[in-house]
Amino acid sequence: MTLIAHSKLPTFERLRAEGVEVLAPGRAEQQDIRELHIGILNLMPDAALEATERQFMRMVGGCNRIAQFKIHLFSVPEFERSEKARAHIEAYYETFERIKRVGLDALIITGANPVQEKLEDEPFWNPMIEIVEWAKRSVSSVMCSCLATHAIVQHYWGIKRYRLEQKRWGVYSHRIVDFDHPLVANINTRFDAPHSHVYETNSRQFRDASLRVLVSSEEADFHLATSEDGFRFIFFQGHPEYDAISLFKEYKREVSRFVTGHRKNYPLFPEHYFSREATLILNHFRDAVLSDDGGKIGMANFPEQEVIPLLDDTWGDTGKAVVNNWLGLVYQLTSADRHKAFMDGVDPESPLG
């Protein structure tokens, strides 16, 4: 329901300007409403660091539960960061040591940019696994996004991701395939969701490992799944947190890489994303770049302002609804008289049924 601005993190002002309810700590303390402490382990690279924190905080802030949310942002020190990103993390993020002292009701782990062929060779692997092991013992539920999903199902269930011949990116139609889980209560039976990944896992691998697939796509395979118990781990392979412009920003970066000679081929469009009008505009720019033998067409002429008003968000409400359902379960399972029973694995009144 309400985010508490317990630091000077700029994202709070950005969300407040969007209409998300954000309370100052003084006002929050006057409210007779229970707090939930939600951690966000942000593993995204510098270019997406702040956008990703906004996206997940927006989804939490859109929850309609009668609760106040304190967001605890943290990352891992193993990443090489720019001076600006390091300064942002040092100013507004917490350390894992402090997170352990404060405690969390639930944890969100973002995706990350894959660099290594083997997940265990990524610089974030060991510190992330340490955090996940702690969360498994100390946090009621962990929600994983994309690459975090791939890492955790490999660590606990031996499920290996595989590399796609071509990057899967676009907006795909999905359908609920398991209607009996409260995470998918009161949402559309069919809805869109963005995907953006080079590596993938699939529904067959999850079911073979006795994991529970809730939402899947004929084109993009699974979008939402859970651990066997239905709640300890929540797995997204898609990106319900994306803004309407997120895939467009990724596309622009790939075009820029081509224009500057860092990739050989001009990028294909994200699938099912651009409207006919946006496609015509972007094709016109592409044709100009490909026919330009004098290097006159550069990214300064990229038609960003013409395309942005043509982009649609066809997934945001459903993503918020799933997160709302998740936080509702967190709220129930972390109440004072039920938390110990849940952590001990004995919860006779569990809402999971």
Per the document, the length of the chain is 353
Query: HEC profile for 270-328?
Result: CECCCCHHHHHHHHHHHHHHHCCCCCCCCHHHCCHHHHHHHCCCCCHHHHHHHHHHHHH
Mean pLDDT of 54-72: 86
In three-state secondary structure terms, 69 is strand
83 is annotated as an active-site residue: no
The residue from 72, 88, 195, 239 that is catalytic is: 239
pLDDT of residue 351: 45
241 is annotated as an active-site residue: yes
pLDDT of residue 29: 55
CA dist., res. 286 & res. 11, Å (int): 34
pLDDT of residue 131: 97
Identify the CA nearest to 256 among candidates 298, 218, 196. 298
The most confident of the ranges 96-105, 324-333, 338-347 is 96-105
Does the structure show a pLDDT above 50 at 343? no
The residue from 72, 146, 150, 197 that is catalytic is: 146
> Mind listing the domains of the chain with CATH numbers?
2-243+313-343 (3.40.50.880), 246-310 (no CATH)
Mean pLDDT of 197-218: 97
Does the structure show a pLDDT above 60 at 294? no
pLDDT of residue 202: 97
The residue from 50, 200, 241, 250 that is catalytic is: 241
Lowest mean pLDDT across 29-33, 138-142, 175-179, 339-343: 339-343
Per cent of the chain over pLDDT 90 is 75
pLDDT of residue 11: 80
Mean pLDDT of 36-50: 95
The secondary structure of residue 19, as a DSSP letter, is T
> Taking a C-beta distance cutoff of 8 angstroms, is the pair 106, 39 a contact?
yes
pLDDT of residue 62: 82
| 342 vs 230, residue with greater confidence | 230
Does the structure show a pLDDT above 60 at 53? yes
Mean pLDDT of 90-102: 95
> Taking a C-beta distance cutoff of 8 angstroms, is the pair 95, 75 a contact?
no
CA dist., res. 63 & res. 19, Å (int): 13
CA dist., res. 27 & res. 25, Å (int): 6
| 14 vs 40, residue with greater confidence | 40
pLDDT of residue 134: 97
Q: Is 271 exposed, middle or buried (0-12, 13-18, 19+ CB in 10 A)?
A: middle
Does the structure show a pLDDT above 50 at 9? yes
Residue 232 pLDDT level (bands cut at 50, 70, 90): very high
- Per-residue pLDDT of 129-171, as tens digits, reads 999 999 999 999 999 999 999 999 999 999 999 999 999 999 9
Mean pLDDT of 212-226: 97
Does the structure show a pLDDT above 70 at 348? no
pLDDT of residue 61: 87
- Per-residue pLDDT of 97-135, as tens digits, reads 999 998 999 999 999 988 899 999 999 999 999 999 999
Does the structure show a pLDDT above 60 at 350? no
Residue 298 pLDDT level (bands cut at 50, 70, 90): confident
The pTM for the full model equals 0.87
CA dist., res. 294 & res. 67, Å (int): 59
